[in-house]
Structure 1
Amino acid sequence: MKKKVSLFASVIFVCTVQAQIGINTPNPQTEFHIDGAKDNPATGAPTVAQQTNDVVVTQQGRLGVGTTAPTNNFEVNSRTTGVSGVKITQLPSATVLATDASGNVISGTSESSGVSVTKQRLIAPNSAVVLTTGSGNYSFRYAGYNATTFLQGYWQIKVNTGVARQFNVWDTEYAGAGGGSTVWQDRNVTTFTPNVWTALNAANVVGGSNEYNVYHVYDSSTGVIIRFTCTLSNMGSTAAGVRESMIAEEF
Structure 2
Amino acid sequence: MKKVFISLLILAIGTIKISAQIGINTPNPQATFHIDGAKDNPATGTPSPAQQANDVVVTAQGRLGVGTNTPTNNLEVNSGTTGTSGMKITQLPSATILATDAGGNVISGITGDAGVSVTKIRLQPANAATILNSGSGDYSFRYSSNTTGGTWQIRINNGTTRQFNIWDTEYSGQNGTGVSSTVWQLRTVKNIAVNTWTPLDDNIAGGANEYNVYHVYDLTRGTILRLTVTLSNVSGISESMILEEF
Q: Cα distance 1:125–1:34, how it changes in 2: closer, same or farther (>3 A)?
A: closer
Cα distance in 1, alignment partners of residues 112 and 229 from structure 2: 25
Aligned-residue Cα RMSD (Å) equals 4.0
> Structure 1, residues 92-151: CA drift from partner, whole Å, max 9, x if none?
7x133532343643357x76485443333322222343333233332222234436xxxx
Tell me, yes or no, if structure 1 residue 185 matches structure 2 residue 180: no
Alignment of 1:73-112 (within 5 A): 73-79=74-80, 85-89=86-90, 91=91, 94-96=93-95, 98-102=97-101, 104-107=105-108, 112=112
Report if the CA contact (8 A) 2:100-2:107 is conserved.
no
Q: Cα–Cα, structure 1 residues 34 and 153, in superposed 2: closer, same or farther, change >3 Å?
A: closer
Post-superposition CA distance 1:187-215 (Å, at most 9, x none): 3333323344332222x332532111111
Spell out the pairing of 1:1-251 with structure 2 (5 A cutoff): 21-24=21-24, 27-30=28-31, 33-35=34-36, 40-58=41-59, 62-70=63-71, 73-79=74-80, 85-89=86-90, 91=91, 94-96=93-95, 98-102=97-101, 104-107=105-108, 112=112, 114=114, 115-146=116-147, 152-180=149-177, 182-202=182-202, 204-206=203-205, 208-235=207-234, 241-251=236-246
Q: Which runs of 5+ in 2 are unaligned?
A: 1-5
Q: Give the secondary-structure state (helix, strand or coil) at the position aligned to 2:142.
A: strand
- Change in 2 beyond 3 A, CA 1:53/1:159: closer
Name the CA distance, whole Å, in 2 between partners of 1:95 and 1:130.
15
Structure 1 length-normalised TM: 0.69
Matched letter for residue 130 of structure 1: I
- Count of aligned positions: 231
Letter in 1 for 2:186: D
TM-score scaled by structure 2?
Answer: 0.70
One-letter amino acid of the structure 1 residue matched with residue 49 of structure 2? V
CA–CA separation in structure 2 for the residues paired with 1:36 and 1:162: 43
Q: Aligned AA for 1:249?
A: E
Q: 1:197 to 1:58 in 2, by over 3 A?
A: same
CA contact (8 A) 2:53 2:67 kept: yes
Structure 1 unaligned segments of length 5 or more: list them: none
**How many angstroms apart in 2 are the aligned matches of 1:174 and 1:206?**
11
The answer as to whether partners of 2:163 and 2:219 remain within 8 angstroms in 1 is yes
Instruction: Name the % identity.
Output: 58
